[in-house]
A = this chain, B = another copy of it.
């Protein structure tokens, strides 16, 4: 039997978690966890992220129009949970988690040293969608730990963190070819 679900979006999980860095006008950085992120165009390279309208990251990206996407491995699951459940308006989440902000190459928001992959993005458009705003950004550069990639795809050693919902996470099995 097929059952109607209350939480429709769990049906579209598990999905790779990202840590989003942004800055305020004084270049003070903030970090937050997001799994509602997807590539949207290959050429030019673009991504979209959907963020709660009232959140601090939403406010910062609207103002300073840049962000970085940082891919954590499963080792960082506790840090990810804190980044996703506390507000940067109230606490410095870098201090709280021990995540280390280091300079990006092309944008003002930092990247996170402990992460295994990074995308540096410039906002090109935004659209309201219910209680969230979809930010669409061009990817200016993307890089990752070479030993964790096989033909540019994450290999098993990467242990990319996938969010199932709530406090539940998982990682991918070995890949197979169709």
The segment from A20-28, A44-52, A59-67 found at the interface with B is: A44-52
Taken together, the copies of this chain in the complex come to 2
**Interface range on chain A (Cβ under 8 Å from partner):** 35 or more
> What residues of B have a CB within 8 angstroms of the CB of A144 in the complex?
2-3, 5, 11
* Interface membership of A13, Cβ < 8 A: yes
Residues of chain A having any CB pair with chain B under 8 Å: 1-16, 18, 36-48, 50, 69, 71, 77-78, 80-81, 117-119, 124-125, 127, 129-132, 134, 136, 139, 141-146, 149, 151-154, 160, 162, 164-178
10 additional A-B pairs beyond A36-B40, A46-B130, beta carbons within 8 Å, are A2-B143, A7-B152, A12-B18, A12-B69, A15-B15, A39-B50, A40-B129, A41-B132, A43-B131, A168-B175
